[in-house]
């Protein structure tokens, strides 16, 4: 059992870092919150509804509309331009193409990479690709942003820039931010830090 009688409540609009040793279940916890993994027992409640009872269609809708995912590696499609990559999560919505295009332009300008919109990932730096991945995660205006080691593949300068971007989105867009990280520098910037150890969450140092 990776997680043992774990109880976590996240307030809407807060920023939370989850730290802990490799293999402690941090990614599993994040995946259950995002509907990628299903718990063996218990419940995962989002705004009063247990998502573990969702049908496949309801779960797809939850992941697409309510949750944004950012991973350690950007996972941009190499054959697509940066703009095409950002717009991928919007393909299920055939009626809002103009609205999505406008939001993509706004977000890409906000993170400073609009001028690279027609370039492919191989021509961009790691930091630029990771910023694009954050924009892709935010394109459907989710209320919950889940980031799994989002700065793990970046140098120190890009770590600071990405941390600032995540917190800006948390603050200005009121998106709930949950970050799994080994970086104490990134964790210290969040409003709350919890440590996952032996399947349980504690306040670091306890």
Tell me how crowded residue 121 is: count the other CB atoms within 10 A of its CB: 22
Q: Do the beta carbons of residue 162 and residue 156 sit within 8 Å?
A: no
Q: Quick one: 114 exposed, middle or buried, by C-beta within 10 A (0-12, 13-18, 19+)? A: middle
Alpha carbons 195 and 141: distance in angstroms, whole number? 28
Task: Per-residue pLDDT tens, the chain, 206 aa: give them.
Answer: 466 678 888 999 999 999 987 777 788 888 889 988 888 888 889 998 999 999 999 999 899 889 999 887 888 999 999 999 999 888 866 655 778 889 899 889 988 899 999 999 999 988 889 889 989 988 988 999 999 988 777 777 777 888 888 888 899 889 999 999 888 888 899 999 998 887 778 887 65
Cβ partners under 8 Å of residue 60, min gap 6: none
CB contact at 8 A, 174 and 29? no
CATH of domain 15-78+125-202: 3.40.50.300
Q: At what angle do helices 97-110 and 126-138 cross, to 10 degrees?
A: 140
For residues 152 and 139, the answer to whether their CB atoms sit within 8 Å is no
Q: What are the domain boundaries of the chain?
A: 15-78+125-202
Give DSSP secondary structure letters for 99-120: HHHHHHHHHHHHTT-GGGTTS-
C-alpha 53 chain-centroid distance: 23
For residue 161, what pLDDT is reported? 81
């Amino acid at each position: 059992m990776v997680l043992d009688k774990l109880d976590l409540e996240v307030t809407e609009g807060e920023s939370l870092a989850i730290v802990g040793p490799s293999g402690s279940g941090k990614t599993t916890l994040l995946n259950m919150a995002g509907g990628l993994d299903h718990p063996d027992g218990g419940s995962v409640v989002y705004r009063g509804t247990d998502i573990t009872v969702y049908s496949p269609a309801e779960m797809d809708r939850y992941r697409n509309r309510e949750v944004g995912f950012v991973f350690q590696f950007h996972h941009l499609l190499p054959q697509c331009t940066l703009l095409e990559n950002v717009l991928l999560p919007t393909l299920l919505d055939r009626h809002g193409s103009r609205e999505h295009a406008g939001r993509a332009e706004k977000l890409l300008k906000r993170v400073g990479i609009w001028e690279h919109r027609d370039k492919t990932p191989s021509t961009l730096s790691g930091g630029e690709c990771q910023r694009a991945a954050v924009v892709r995660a935010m394109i459907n205006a989710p209320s919950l942003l889940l980031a799994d080691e989002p700065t793990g593949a970046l140098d120190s300068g890009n770590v600071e820039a990405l941390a600032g971007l995540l917190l800006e989105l948390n603050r200005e867009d009121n998106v709930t931010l949950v970050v799994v990280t080994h970086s104490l520098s990134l964790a210290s910037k969040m409003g709350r830090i919890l440590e996952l150890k032996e399947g349980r969450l504690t306040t670091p140092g306890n």
